[in-house]
């Protein structure tokens, strides 16, 4: 194969991520031509309702998968946190790149962090996971919906619609907005979406040529971490309809994996937490263990 066509959403962040993958593929395979196939997805088009209300994050994938099925693209690039736990039949993840910053970002023009916000401040986020953790910490806050790409969300903050918004650090840094991060929201108090900060390449299952090209970009440490987080989420049947958070870390030189998990209620801020650790070579088992602990602790009520 001399030309590889990558389907991508048209948002600035999606185009940055796909351009990054294209550059890495060219470096790994001199002589390979990589072309971007930008597409608009239903998840990008419907911005007046939450993702949970219109069908979930899988809406960001559907059109890209159809393009691969029609032979218009050979693979697609996604934020792994947007990829459903179970792919549609006929598709596979060919590679997961080294993870960027996994944390959430507190962004505000006037306040340094969540605890510095005044009583009743307006915070923008449509993520149920972020809403649950905000309610747990500051039940007095007004939580307002916020959809659209990163540039749109920042513009709405700058227009005075919110006192603060919560975004992913990785997205801000990739687009050159790192200076907008007033505070990193990180473990153990605050947990990200499963696989947040990781980029994945999806291709047709059984397309050995494309899988071999993309495999050069796979990062083993990231693969282990996000496998545990996604296994936990899968066992909980998690989606954007449910406030589920997870973060895995590698310790002892990468030999041991430690997973923290959380399920919450976006309506009242009740949180259930769990933690487990084990050999890095058994991420799925560790994810399942944390899911069982969460369910035993009452997380089923929120699911």
Other C-beta atoms lying within 10 Å of the C-beta of residue 303:
15
Strand ranges inside 102-254, DSSP E:
104-107, 122-124, 142-144, 164-168, 183-185, 199-204, 244-251
Contacts of 176 (CB under 8 A, 6+ apart): none
Q: Tell me the torsion sign for CA atoms 290, 295, 298, 301.
A: positive
Neighbours of 275 (CB within 10 A): 14
Distance separating the N- and C-terminal Cα atoms of the chain? 45
Between CA 124 and CA 103 the distance in angstroms is: 17
Distance of alpha carbon 127 from alpha carbon 105, whole angstroms: 13
Are 205 and 165 in contact by the 8 Å Cβ rule? The answer is no
Which H/E stretch holds residue 174? helix 169-174
Catalytic residue among 74, 82, 104, 207: 82
Would you call 140 a catalytic residue per the annotation?
no
Residues 6 or more apart in contact with residue 252 via CB below 8 angstroms: none
Query: Contact 129/244 with Cβ under 8 angstroms?
Result: yes
Q: What strands, in cross-sheet order, belong to the sheet with 104-107? A: 142-144, 122-124, 164-168, 104-107, 183-185
Coil, strand or helix at 74: coil
Q: Which residues are catalytic?
A: 82
């Amino acid at each position: 194969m001399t030309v590889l066509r990558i389907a991508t959403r048209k948002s600035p962040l999606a185009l940055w991520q796909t351009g990054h993958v294209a550059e890495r593929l060219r470096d790994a395979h001199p002589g390979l031509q990589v072309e971007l196939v930008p597409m608009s997805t239903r998840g990008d088009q419907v911005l007046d309702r939450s993702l949970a209300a219109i069908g979930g994050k899988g809406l960001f994938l559907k059109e890209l998968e159809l393009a691969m099925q029609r032979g218009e693209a050979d693979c697609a690039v996604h934020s792994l946190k947007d990829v459903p736990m179970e792919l549609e039949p006929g598709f596979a993840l060919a590679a997961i790149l080294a993870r960027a910053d996994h944390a959430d970002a507190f962004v505000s023009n006037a306040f340094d962090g969540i605890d510095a916000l005044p009583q009743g401040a307006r915070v923008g986020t449509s993520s149920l996971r972020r809403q649950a953790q905000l309610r747990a910490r500051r039940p007095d806050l007004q939580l307002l919906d916020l959809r659209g790409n990163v540039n749109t969300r920042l513009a709405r903050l700058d227009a005075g619609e919110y006192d603060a918004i919560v975004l992913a650090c990785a997205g801000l840094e990739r687009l050159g907005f790192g200076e907008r991060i007033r505070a990193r929201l990180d473990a153990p108090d605050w947990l990200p979406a499963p696989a947040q900060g990781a980029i994945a390449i999806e291709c047709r299952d059984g397309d050995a040529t494309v899988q071999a090209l993309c495999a050069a970009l796979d990062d083993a440490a990231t693969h282990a971490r996000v496998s545990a987080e996604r296994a936990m989420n899968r066992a909980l049947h998690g989606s954007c309809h449910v406030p589920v958070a997870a973060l895995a870390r590698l310790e002892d030189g990468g030999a041991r994996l430690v997973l923290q998990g959380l399920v919450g209620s976006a309506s009242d801020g009740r949180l259930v937490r769990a933690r487990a650790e084990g050999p890095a070579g058994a991420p799925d088992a560790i994810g399942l263990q944390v899911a069982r602990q969460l369910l035993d602790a009452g997380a089923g009520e929120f699911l």
